[in-house]
Amino acid sequence: MSIISSTGHTTTSTTSSLAQRLTAAVCASILGACLVYFAGFSHIEAVHNAAHDTRHSSAFPCH
């Protein structure tokens, strides 16, 4: 004898407001700009060279 039981799966959809999405986008943009600025203008040669080599490996012109 077999018993088949069904469990109701509830899906929770998380809705984020426009303000939350804008805040996340602004924070991500600021973080990205800081990383680009740090890598581009760093006096630490290893950081600058790593960013430089990454740009060349992805065929992004940087000169």
- CA dist., res. 2 & res. 37, Å (int): 65
Q: In sequence order, which residues have a C-beta less than 8 Å from that of residue 56 and are 6 or more positions away?
A: 62
**Domain locations in the chain as residue ranges:** 18-57
pLDDT in tens, 16-61: 899 999 999 999 999 998 888 887 777 777 777 777 777 777 776 6
Question: Please, are residues 56 and 62 in contact by the beta-carbon 8 Å criterion?
Answer: yes
For position 63, what pLDDT does the model report?
Answer: 60
